[in-house]
Each structure stands twice: as structure tokens, then as C-alpha cells.
């Protein structure tokens, strides 16, 4: 049972826009930044979004993040086949001396 809640799966067709939600609480998303990671099969996760809505250099602007209250979302526009991957949200949790928590991950399928 992950501290942050994500849908286990999402799907879309090429060119579509899909969103992945991440729900938390006041001790994590509600008071700290949200980060998103993309994990392709057999590889280490890759930082996709930092500080709620910032993209690292090299990440296409098709990827965007947002946060409102204790929830956050990752949006992918102009869906491409190479976007098929697992996506994880993460946030710092202020409880119990502080620690990082993850969502359970969302498997994105490009139909």
C-alpha cells in the first residue's frame, strides 16, 4: 500500500492527451513539492518533472505537471509510442522525522 495513490493503469492513442493523477495528504503533497519519474522497461527511473511543474533539460514540453492541494497530475500531450512506460510520483513527507514517499506507479499503454 503506497502512501501516494495513483491509478494502476492509463492508456491513450497516439496524439492524444492523457493525465495521471497522484493523491496524497497534508504531510506530503499538501506541503511539499511533487516529482514525477518515467521508467522504461528494464531501466532506472528518469526524472521527468521536479518541483511540481518544472522540466529538466531534455524533457519534451509534451510533459507537464501540476499540483493543487493534496493532489498532483502529470499530463502527456501528443502521445507517442515511446511514452509507453511506468510513471511514478514522489514527495517528501514531513511526518516521522521526514522521508520520501512514492505512488504505486501507473502503467501507461499507448494503443
Partner 1 sequence: QVQLQESGPGLVKPSQTLSLTCTVSGGSISSGSYYWSWIRQPAGKGLEWIGRIYTSGSTNYNPSLKSRVTISVDTSKNQFSLKLSSVTAADTAVYYCARSPRWSVAGGGWDYWGQGTLVTVSS
98 binding partner 1? (CB under 8 A) = yes
Q: Of 27, 33, 67, 79, which lies in the binding site for partner 1, with binding defined by CB under 8 A?
A: 33
Q: Tell me the closest approach of the beta carbon of residue 57 to partner 1, in angstroms.
A: 10
Q: C-alpha distances in angstroms, 27 versus 34, 67, 94?
A: 12, 14, 5
61 binding partner 1? (CB under 8 A) = no
* Residue 80 and residue 14 in contact, taking contact as beta carbons nearer than 8 Å: yes
- Residue 27: left (phi > 0), alpha (psi -120 to 50), or beta? alpha
* Residue 86 and residue 106 in contact, taking contact as beta carbons nearer than 8 Å: yes
Q: Of 22, 79, 101, 108, which lies in the binding site for partner 1, with binding defined by CB under 8 A?
A: 101
Among 19-27, 50-58, 67-75, 76-84, which window interacts with partner 1 (CB under 8 A)?
Answer: 50-58
Task: Kindly list the residues in this chain that would bind partner 1 in the complex (CB under 8 A).
Answer: 2, 32-33, 35, 37, 43-47, 50-51, 56, 88, 90, 92, 96-105
Amino acid at each position: 500500500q503506497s502512501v501516494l495513490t495513483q491509478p494502476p493503469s492509463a492508456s491513450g492513442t497516439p496524439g492524444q492527451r492523457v493525465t495521471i493523477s497522484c493523491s496524497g495528504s497534508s504531510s506530503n503533497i499538501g506541503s511539499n513539492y511533487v516529482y514525477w519519474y518515467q521508467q522504461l522497461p528494464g531501466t532506472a527511473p528518469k526524472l521527468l518533472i521536479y518541483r511540481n511543474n518544472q522540466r529538466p533539460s531534455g524533457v519534451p514540453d509534451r510533459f507537464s505537471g501540476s499540483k493543487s492541494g493534496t493532489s498532483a497530475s502529470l499530463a502527456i500531450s501528443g502521445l507517442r509510442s515511446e511514452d509507453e512506460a511506468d510513471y511514478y510520483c514522489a514527495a517528501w513527507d514531513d511526518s516521522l522525522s521526514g522521508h520520501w514517499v512514492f505512488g504505486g506507479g501507473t502503467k501507461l499503454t499507448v494503443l
